[in-house]
Amino acid sequence: MNSIAHARPGLAPPHGAAPDRAALHAAVPADAPSLRERLRHPFARRAPTVATLIRKHRLWPALELVHDELVREFGSVRIEMTTSNPADEFRFVCFDAYLPEIDAEHVVELEEALSEQVTERFGRALSLRLLVTLHSDPNHLPLFP
């Protein structure tokens, strides 16, 4: 049974998880629609949210791998997660990380290395469901707001 205090079932950090992963779990936006919206359209098909895509495609291990690699190299990172454009037939999660004071060449190399690690470790099917983007611009807007 879920409690009101924990509105995101299945997305809480597991017991014994590393304390630095709290930021990763906090970056997943809540996927509960408002009560008014659920009452108005009880059987409406909703676009998948970040949380539902993470659960459906079992993306947590890949997200933790990317997060741990970034934290190991840069200390702390600011993370934002969004889903792809609702018009897209093939939905995926965009993991967007802000890395202060990093040059563009290193960003591209790091994005490619992280994507390769996810593909090698978890397979091509899962890596297609996760897009890792890195940037160093504090005014950067995520790909899919």
> And the tokens for 72?
């190991």
* pLDDT, position 13: 46
40 and 76 Cβ atoms separated by less than 8 Å:
no
Q: Give the burial class of 44: count Cβ atoms within 10 A of its Cβ; 0-12 exposed, 13-18 middle, 19 or more buried.
A: exposed
pLDDT tens-digit profile of 23-81?
788 788 766 555 566 566 656 566 678 888 888 889 999 999 999 999 888 887 888 88
In angstroms, the first-to-last Cα distance of the chain is: 32
With a threshold of 0.85, does the pTM exceed it?
A: no
pLDDT tens, position by position, 34-50: 556 656 665 656 667 88
Helix (H) or strand (E) holding 108: helix 104-122
At 26 the pLDDT is 79
Q: What is the pLDDT of residue 12?
A: 47
Q: Where are the domains of the chain?
A: 52-145
**Where does 52-145 sit in CATH, by number?**
3.30.70.1350
* Residue 83 pLDDT class (50, 70, 90 cuts): confident
- % residues pLDDT > 90 (the chain): 16
- Give the dihedral sign, CA 52/53/59/65: negative
Between CA 64 and CA 59 the distance in angstroms is: 9
